[in-house]
Structure formats: structure tokens, C-alpha cells
Amino acid sequence: MSQSFTHALCRRPGPDLAGGITTSDLGKPDFALACDQFDKYVATLRECGLEVTVLDALESFPDAHFVEDTAVVTSDVAVITRPGAASRLGEQDSISKAMAAHLPLAHIEFPGTLDGGDVLMIGTHFLIGISDRTNDDGARQLGAILESHGNTWQAVPVAAGLHFKSSVNIVGPNTLLVTEVFSGREELAGYERIIVPPDEAYAGNTLLINGRLIMPAGYPQTRKMLETLSLPITELDTSEFRRMDGGLTCLSLRF
Ligand code: CIR
């Protein structure tokens, strides 16, 4: 199964988390509640059998707990990204140090930009979203690194949402959970697709880890559809991260 992991790397949110980038009009996040939601997230990853390393909050980087954007990790290599938002450039340095303990490193270099939230790993095939954060050069650099380790890749335009994985995620060996905007994309035609109802689009950001689905709490229609996969499901409240355009995949690197 493609989503089998032993480790995760996370970072605690800092008291300045409301200073991060957001397009949502959901109001400012509550720090104490965000910490509580983060702790439950880490506990759930541990219940999935992962050894979880939790880094301290990173001063001056209010989005740094969204670690997913700072690396793309495969079984062979950790590709340290060059985040596409100016205020996040620099977050990757401490992730690079932490990942060096686990895997050989490669790096996305200028003028490439790439956020890990745009990269979906499906076994040895990678879909790389071209978005406001990930440019063609960044995608090509990542693609070349992945190919050198025997993987394949394909670029996909991100026509809606912040990142590709805001809208498309793997929920079974050949099954994707997709929002309506992406449901007809030819790059996804070879997969079974479960289409998230438009009023539950945020639930498209669901995580499959070691045979368990972790989905955001409060999306009953999506839950019903996911139940057809006969996998255990855990719902987690991510309300405070949603206020900052983040969700379940963003809060960890899994490998
Ligand atoms: C940002 O705009 O960069 C953060 N506020 C949210 C990042 C979410 N990351 C992700 O979806 N992978």
C-alpha cells in the first residue's frame, strides 16, 4: 500500500500563528485551542504507529507549523523545498537539519519555488500541482530528482484552492478524494475518484496513514462516502488551522 509510514515530523504552532498568511474570513485562530488540536493530531499519528518528532515553534515564522510545505519525502530522499511565499522562505532550513537524520537530502534551488502541499505521492508516481506557490521550474527540479530515484511525475494546474492537496488526496491504493473542480481533470482519469460535495470542499484534505483515514471533523456527506472504503476513520477538529488556510496534511511530513 502506498501510504505506509513509520515516521512523522511536526512542528508546534507558535503564539504568533494569527500572523500567518490567510485568505479565509473565519476570524483569528485561538492559540490555546490550536495547541489542543495540534496535540490531538500528534496523538492520532502515534496511534497510527508513527514515531513522531515534534519540533519547537519557529520564531518569526508564523506559518512554520505547516511543515508539509517545506519538504517532499520519499523512501529514498527528502527534497527540501523553496517555499513559494516570501514570508515562509527560510522555514525549510531547520527542516533540512531534522530530515538529515533520516534520509539523504536534495534541494529545490532558485528560481524554482515549490510547496510540499502541491505534491501528491501515489506510490512511485507523483502529481505536482502548479500553483501560486509552485512554479514550473520548481516542479521540473523536483521531477528530475524523483526520476533519478526511479519515480514518475506529472504536472497538474491548480485551478482552485491554495495547494493541490487542498483539493486532491489519496484515500486508497488507486482511489483519490477530489473536489468537483478537479474531478474531470485528465491527469486523474486513471484513478477511482470520490467527489467531495461542493459545500464540504475542505474535507478534500483528508489523510490516509497506515490504513486509517483521518478527516476533518464535521463533514457528514464526505464521511458517508469514505465509509464505503471500509477503513477506520478518525475525525479531528482543525478549526483553528482552517482559519489560516491549513488542514490535516499540512501539519506533518510523513515518511
Ligand atoms: C500558507 O498560506 O502558507 C499557510 N497559511 C497555510 C499552509 C497550508 N499548507 C498546506 O496546505 N500544505
> pLDDT tens digits for the chain (255 residues)?
457 999 999 999 999 999 999 999 999 999 999 999 999 999 999 999 999 999 999 999 999 999 999 999 999 999 999 999 999 999 999 999 999 999 999 999 999 999 999 999 999 999 999 999 999 999 999 999 999 999 999 999 999 999 999 999 999 999 999 999 999 999 999 999 999 999 999 999 999 999 999 999 999 999 999 999 999 999 999 999 999 999 999 999 999
Active site residue 35: no
pLDDT at 2: 53
Catalytic site residue from 10, 48, 65, 250: 250
Active site residue 163: yes
163 close to ligand 1 (CB < 6 Angstrom) = yes
C-alpha cell at 204: 478534500
Q: How far is the CA of 67 from the centre of ligand 1 (A)?
A: 9
69 close to ligand 1 (CB < 6 Angstrom) = yes
pLDDT per residue as tens digits for the range 84-131: 999 999 999 999 999 999 999 999 999 999 999 999 999 999 999 999
Determine whether 98 is exposed, middle or buried from the number of CB atoms within 10 Å of its CB (0-12, 13-18, 19+): middle
66 close to ligand 1 (CB < 6 Angstrom) = yes
240 close to ligand 1 (CB < 6 Angstrom) = no
C-alpha cell at 62: 508564523
State the pTM of this model: 0.97
Alpha-carbon gap, residue 71 to 92, rounded angstroms: 7
Q: How far is the CA of 242 from the centre of ligand 1 (A)?
A: 9
Domains of the chain: 7-254 (3.75.10.10)
Q: How far is the CA of 35 from the centre of ligand 1 (A)?
A: 17
Which residue among 65, 66, 82 is best mutated to probe the pocket of ligand 1, counting the most ligand atoms within 8 A of its Cβ?
A: 66
Q: How far is the CA of 250 from the centre of ligand 1 (A)?
A: 7
Q: Do 168 and 176 contact (CB within 8 A), yes or no? A: yes
77 half-sphere exposure, CB direction, 13 A CA radius: 18
85 close to ligand 1 (CB < 6 Angstrom) = yes
Alpha-carbon gap, residue 126 to 141, rounded angstroms: 13
Question: Could you tell me the sign of the dihedral formed by the alpha carbons of 109, 125, 105, 21, in that order?
Answer: positive
241 half-sphere exposure, CB direction, 13 A CA radius: 30
pLDDT at 1: 43
Which atom, in ligand 1's list, is nearest to the CA of 246?
Answer: 8
Catalytic site residue from 10, 48, 65, 163: 163
246 close to ligand 1 (CB < 6 Angstrom) = yes
List, in sequence order, every residue forming a beta bridge with 7; answer none if it has no partner: 51
Q: For ligand 1, atom 8, which residue shows the shortest CA distance?
A: 246
Q: What is residue 111's DSSP assignment?
A: T
pLDDT at 210: 97
118 close to ligand 1 (CB < 6 Angstrom) = no
C-alpha cell at 107: 534541494
